[in-house]
Structure 1
Amino acid sequence: MNVLKRLFKIGQAETNSAIDKLEDPIKMIEQGLRDMHENQDRALKALAEVKAMHIRRSRELKESISQEEDLQNKSVLLLKKAQTGELDKTEADNFVKENLRRKAKLSQEIKLITEDVSNLEKQVASLEQNVNRIKAGIKQWENELGTLRARIKVSSATQKINKQMTNMDSTSVVSMLERMKDKVIQDEALAEAYGEMAESSITHEEKLKKALEDISVEDELAQMKRNMGLSDSKEQSENT
């Protein structure tokens, strides 16, 4: 319990120093919690045993008290019978004396059993308090361990980020941004140039194709007219 308390006081310098020397403080704390669970199991077993003893002695006390009352009632009944003549007085007195001796012995036993029951009640209360304290401690340390795990993760991530930030000053950031801007401008200009080249190439090819198509159509038209014996007005004007 004390080891766990020292480990969870992260804010203290001596605790930090102790934890830094540990190879794995989380595993050590987990082992401490396992030990606490074992202590809880032992405490619960002891509590059950003491409760069983308390129950048994309480029953014995109840039975002894009942026997004592029974002897008292029988003694009274014997004296009444002797008084009414139903029983010889000497015989009745002897029976009553024997009952009183047994009653005296029972009274001593009742006194001892009563003390045992009282002590057992105190032990049960003490053990129940210890068990509840261990349960509360385990719950608290498990919650603390969960918080500690989260804090370690956050701390580790923060350290990595801060380390990266320390390696990157404002000058380097500005320089990096300028280089990125230059590259983007260059890529945009290059894309535009490729677009113009593609448009120019397509236009030239279309013009050439159209010119070839026009020449082919004129030749074919002239040949058809010659085959039909038709004179071309353009040829006649040239001949005259």
Structure 2
Amino acid sequence: MFKFFKRVKTVVGSELNSLLDKAEDPVKMLDQYMRDMESDIREVESAVAKQIANEKMLKRKYDDAQALVEKRQGQAEKAIESGNEDLARRALEDKKDQETQTETLKESWERAKADSEQLRKKLDEMKKEYQQMQLKKDSLKARAESAKTRTKMNHAMSSIGNDESKQGFERMEEKVLQYEAEADTSDDMSESSKSLDDEFEELERSDVDDELDALKKKMNKE
């Protein structure tokens, strides 16, 4: 019954090494171990309750037998006082039988009482160990989750600078440069496609603008 507790204590005390070596999920395994420990505790609690009930039953029988011994003693004395020796003898004979039974019941009760105390002590130890394992389980679960998160982050960060990602990034950069070069080429082609008349028209437009500026200056002076 208590072997499981020792095994769980060893597993948890090993800082999850054996679990990790077997590729088991530490968080799920720890939860399962705690549930098994709770089941063991309930089993021991039931055994303790039955043992205590047995102890109380034996104590009650012992007390009843002891009371009957005292009763027969009183009856024998009363019979002697009444001059009934035969009745007194029979009372003493039954008293002797009850004394033998009383000693047997006393031994059984004391043995049951010792067993009850031992079981209660074991139960207290199990509950104390369970509480300690509960605290350690919470700590180990947090550490396991933290380790998983760090591993995922390290994998993600390592993939950022790998050759495949770097080459892909460089390809996209080349595409952007290509788009910019095509845009510049398009501008140059647009400039070169202007006709001679277009250029003269722009020149004439420039002369008109100059004449308009000169007129504005003259009018402002007047």
| TM value normalised by structure 1 | 0.59
The separation in 1 between residues aligned to 2:58 and 2:67, in whole angstroms, is 14
Sort the Cα spacing of 1:28 and 1:74 in 2 relative to 1 into closer, same or farther, 3 A: same
Q: Verify: 1:50 aligned to 2:51, yes or no.
A: yes
Partner in structure 2 of residue 3 of structure 1: 7
1:167 to partner: Cα distance: 7.0
1:16 to partner: Cα distance: 2.1
Structure 1 vs Structure 2 CA RMSD: 2.8
Partner in structure 1 of residue 206 of structure 2: none
Q: Verify: 1:16 aligned to 2:17, yes or no.
A: yes
Sort the Cα spacing of 1:59 and 1:96 in 2 relative to 1 into closer, same or farther, 3 A: same
Partner in structure 1 of residue 140 of structure 2: 148
1:45 to partner: Cα distance: 1.0
Identity %: 20
The separation in 2 between residues aligned to 1:17 and 1:135, in whole angstroms, is 25
Sort the Cα spacing of 1:129 and 1:7 in 2 relative to 1 into closer, same or farther, 3 A: same
Structure 1 residue runs of 5 or longer lacking an equivalent are 83-91, 169-210, 212-240
1:27 to partner: Cα distance: 1.8
1:132 to 124, 149, 165: 124
Sort the Cα spacing of 1:135 and 1:25 in 2 relative to 1 into closer, same or farther, 3 A: same
**What amino acid is the match of 2:95?**
K
1:156 to partner: Cα distance: 3.2
Sort the Cα spacing of 1:154 and 1:27 in 2 relative to 1 into closer, same or farther, 3 A: closer
Structure 2 residue runs of 5 or longer lacking an equivalent are 162-215, 217-222
3-state SS of the aligned residue for 1:22?
coil
Partner in structure 1 of residue 183 of structure 2: none
**What amino acid is the match of 1:117?**
W
Maintained 8 Å contact 1:4/1:29: no
For 1:28-177, what aligned pairs fall within 5 Å after superposition?
A: 28-82=29-83, 92-160=84-152, 164=157
1:6 to partner: Cα distance: 3.2
The separation in 2 between residues aligned to 1:47 and 1:10, in whole angstroms, is 31
Maintained 8 Å contact 2:19/2:25: no
The separation in 2 between residues aligned to 1:29 and 1:71, in whole angstroms, is 63
3-state SS of the aligned residue for 2:144?
helix
Sort the Cα spacing of 1:135 and 1:67 in 2 relative to 1 into closer, same or farther, 3 A: same
**What amino acid is the match of 2:122?**
N
The separation in 1 between residues aligned to 2:95 and 2:123, in whole angstroms, is 41
| TM value normalised by structure 2 | 0.63
Look at both structures and tell me which one has the larger radius of gyration over its CA atoms: 1
Comparing both chains, which one has the higher relative contact order based on Cα–Cα distances under 8 Å and sequence gaps of 6 or more? 2
1:143 to partner: Cα distance: 1.1
3-state SS of the aligned residue for 1:6?
helix
